[in-house]
Structure 1
Amino acid sequence: MDRGKTSFDCSSRANNFIDSRNNKIYMDLKDIIREHALHFLPAKSLFRFQGVCRDWKLWISTPFFAHNQSLSFHTFSGIFLQSPGNPPSFVSIDPKSCGMPDPTLKFLPEPVDIRSSSNGLLCCQGCDGDKAYYICNPVTKQWKKIPKPIGDHGPDPAVVLIFEPSLLNFVANYKLICAFPSADFDNAIEFEIYSSIEGSWKISGEIFFANRKLMPKSGIHVNGVVYWQVKHSRIVAFDLKKDRAQLIHGFYGVKGLLGEVDGKLCSAYVNSHSIMVNVLSNVYSNTMQMNSNARTWEEKDRIHLDNSEFGEFAVGQAIVVFVGGNVVLVQAGRTILSHDTKNKETTVLCSAAENGTRCVSYVNSLIYI
């Protein structure tokens, strides 16, 4: 009897030890997910995960977590669509995981036009009064009004927002740069830069004499350089560090679009039944010796288009409205298709886009302003 009782006690203690070990494993796994996985998710998913437990809710709500998420999550999440005179709307690449509470941006003090976006932040411009610039995060509804610029940016400013999350900065430090026609010199372009650190605008000493008309909605920032398309298949590039501008040749097609792929400037355009994606390889190719094999652009990808995907519209009527990362968006009529260059899949992102609608890409971030 004593031996049986001893055996039972040992078995009971062993089971209790195993249960204790299992509980510890479960707790450790929960902590691992919280500490090392959550910040790789988009904002909408994180708001849903706040309901898992009180610990996760408090953790996701901290500025430290929002900072880590802005550093870790840079995935294309969807596009803002805005036609002239109408409020914006948002189309998510995955409605279950990416979204926002107020896609029309009614939390801002006045109706706005979206001008640019960068890693979760939007640059908007008021439609009335002095047409002020606003920087906002549409997920958190935080916003700031930017001081009035020094130069005249015109009715459709070629402004580009630059926000690059930094490990050392818990609050977003960003810049706005606008290329605008010079008031002092004919056929010249000047550049004005706003810094959130300094809280003021500064006009660059660089004056670019090119006799070229900028395409305001074409601006993009890649690795410290801002690029704008100009007419006659050219690109104006402004280097922020060198404070210098130059003209880049060889950009293909009036319907081409600038973007970023693998950390390089790229151009994408529809050619016959394909989307051509080229990357900038040598900005000095036009100064190379004769018969040099150096080329300004190199082909990165060629995506075949099927007429059946566009319904009543022919492939030749399609235009590229976004290219970045692994995503290319193409519009024909009211239909916008999304093509993933990695898995080679094409899906319908939106079937109700109006003519003249502007598309602005967005990343679903929790970043604090």
Structure 2
Amino acid sequence: MDRGKKLSNMYGSKNSKMYMDLKDIIRENALPFLPAKSLFRCLGVCRDWKLQISTPFFAHNQSNSFGCISGFFYQTQAGRPSFMSLDPMAYGIPDTSLKFLPEPIDVRSSCNGLLCCQGRTGYKAYYICNPVTKRWEKIPKPEADHGPDPAVVLVFDPSLLNFTADYKLICAFPSDLDGYEFEIYSSGKRSWRISGEICFSDTTLVPKSGIHVNGTVYWQTVDARIIAFHLTSERFQLLSSAPGPLGIRNGKLCTAHVRGQILVVSTLSNMHSNTMQICSNAKTWEEMQPKICLDSSLPASSGTRHGGVAFIGGDIVLLSSGSTFYCYDMKKKVSQNLGEVDFQARPGIVGYVNSLVEL
């Protein structure tokens, strides 16, 4: 009898140890890969999880571990910022209209959890913020006039070795010499600097078309070209553009558009094809194979400039038909109707990652 009780207690002790080990594994190895809203819901699980999630080190680890597109910022018809979540239960922010900022703003750019916003009063200052934590910084006034609808791009790559968000702002602004110049802001130096490079071109940039990929910032132009600005060499390059908005997929610059009921994704394969010899078979863009056939619930090509595609990033494609938006996940091959959105065509859609990154 006693021997049986002893054996039962031993198994109970082992089961308890296994449970504790599993809890520790989840806390240490799974929580950093969750989005910010889900983590806030996990605060009530137990005291250990609350303490873990509340530390600056955990926030730093999560900003380096989680990088999925969580939703999109846009301006309403009334001009207020708002947020469209891909999963309201998992992804979200406490103040979708960003009223914690000191003045009304327009969302200009986003990168890995940080937003670049621009005020509407005074000299229209730039603000960098994390909408989850409501932390923000006001950027010093630029040296140049960036114009009423600036082509500004936020560049932020989280680093395990850097606990503070080290970011840059790159703005291509109209030059007095009939082209574009580039002004660069560094958070480390807290100052702006105008590059000596000038892009002599009679084209016009598309606002909010800019994106940073592997050390190069790209903007689309109204005449279906791309201006590429290399951050290290600070040299520009003119490229031909494939149809659709610019995005990033598998670490490469890409575009996407709908052709009939087919989603066509093209990746930049050769930046120097325009300098190759005439008979060369080198192509600037390569279409992804096999092509994706959209189901009948998703909008077919409407003849718009982007063929119904409003955004592409990672595995996520955002499609629109009038005021109704749809999400298609290229990895899971599933679609989702996000409903009708009170959407202002300008200044456009900005993708967002639900991160705890600290400013």
Scaled to the shorter chain, the TM-score interval is over 0.9
Question: How do residues 153-164 of structure 1 correspond to structure 2 at under 5 angstroms?
Answer: 153-164=146-157
1:34 equivalenced with 2:27 (yes/no): yes
* SS state at 1:122 partner: strand
Tell me which amino acid in the other structure corresponds to 1:208: C
Other-structure match for 1:362: 352
1:86 equivalenced with 2:76 (yes/no): no
Do 1:305 and 1:315's aligned partners in 2 also have CA atoms closer than 8 Å?
A: no
Other-structure match for 1:235: 226
Q: Can you list the C-alpha shifts for 1:332-360, whole angstroms capped at 9, x where unaligned?
A: 11111111112322221232343515211
Tell me which amino acid in the other structure corresponds to 1:246: Q
1:170 positional shift: 1.2
Question: How do residues 72-83 of structure 1 correspond to structure 2 at under 5 angstroms?
Answer: 72-83=65-76
1:182 positional shift: 1.3
Other-structure match for 1:3: none
1:134 equivalenced with 2:123 (yes/no): no
Two-structure CA RMSD over aligned residues (Å)? 1.6
Tell me which amino acid in the other structure corresponds to 2:133: T
Gaps of 5+ in 2: none
Other-structure match for 1:116: 109
Deviates more, 1:159-168 or 1:86-95: 86-95
Gaps of 5+ in 1: 1-7
Equivalent of residue 206 in structure 1, options 189, 197, 203: 197
1:149 positional shift: 0.6
Q: Can you list the C-alpha shifts for 1:106-136, whole angstroms capped at 9, x where unaligned?
A: 0111110000000011000001112110000
Other-structure match for 2:15: 22
1:314 positional shift: 6.7
1:151 equivalenced with 2:169 (yes/no): no
Other-structure match for 1:190: 181
TM-score normalised to the size of structure 2?
Answer: 0.95
Do 1:42 and 1:364's aligned partners in 2 also have CA atoms closer than 8 Å?
A: yes
Equivalent of residue 247 in structure 1, options 228, 238, 241: 238
Other-structure match for 1:54: 47
* SS state at 2:44 partner: coil
Distance 1:356 1:332 in 2: 12
Which 4+ runs in 1 deviate beyond 6 A?
A: none
1:173 positional shift: 0.9
Tell me which amino acid in the other structure corresponds to 1:192: E
Other-structure match for 2:277: 289
Q: Can you list the C-alpha shifts for 1:142-177, whole angstroms capped at 9, x where unaligned?
A: 111111111110111000001110011112111110
Do 2:301 and 2:308's aligned partners in 1 also have CA atoms closer than 8 Å?
A: no
Deviates more, 1:282-291 or 1:321-330: 282-291
1:306 positional shift: 5.4
Do 2:252 and 2:267's aligned partners in 1 also have CA atoms closer than 8 Å?
A: yes
1:14 positional shift: 2.2
1:279 equivalenced with 2:267 (yes/no): yes
1:232 positional shift: 1.8
Other-structure match for 1:45: 38
Distance 1:81 1:199 in 2: 28
Distance 1:355 1:259, change over 3 A: same
Distance 1:240 1:84, change over 3 A: farther
Do 1:333 and 1:355's aligned partners in 2 also have CA atoms closer than 8 Å?
A: no
Do 1:335 and 1:353's aligned partners in 2 also have CA atoms closer than 8 Å?
A: no
Do 1:336 and 1:353's aligned partners in 2 also have CA atoms closer than 8 Å?
A: no
1:273 positional shift: 3.4
Distance 1:88 1:198, change over 3 A: same
Question: How do residues 216-227 of structure 1 correspond to structure 2 at under 5 angstroms?
Answer: 216-227=207-218
Question: How do residues 313-332 of structure 1 correspond to structure 2 at under 5 angstroms?
Answer: 315-317=302-304, 318-332=307-321
Distance 1:140 1:364, change over 3 A: same
Deviates more, 1:325-334 or 1:13-22: 13-22
1:350 equivalenced with 2:327 (yes/no): no
Distance 2:105 2:326 in 1: 26
Distance 1:196 1:314 in 2: 42
Do 1:272 and 1:316's aligned partners in 2 also have CA atoms closer than 8 Å?
A: no
1:269 equivalenced with 2:262 (yes/no): no
Distance 2:269 2:124 in 1: 38
Equivalent of residue 162 in structure 2, options 151, 165, 169: 169
Distance 2:57 2:296 in 1: 48
Do 2:79 and 2:344's aligned partners in 1 also have CA atoms closer than 8 Å?
A: no
Distance 2:29 2:4 in 1: 37
Do 2:242 and 2:266's aligned partners in 1 also have CA atoms closer than 8 Å?
A: no
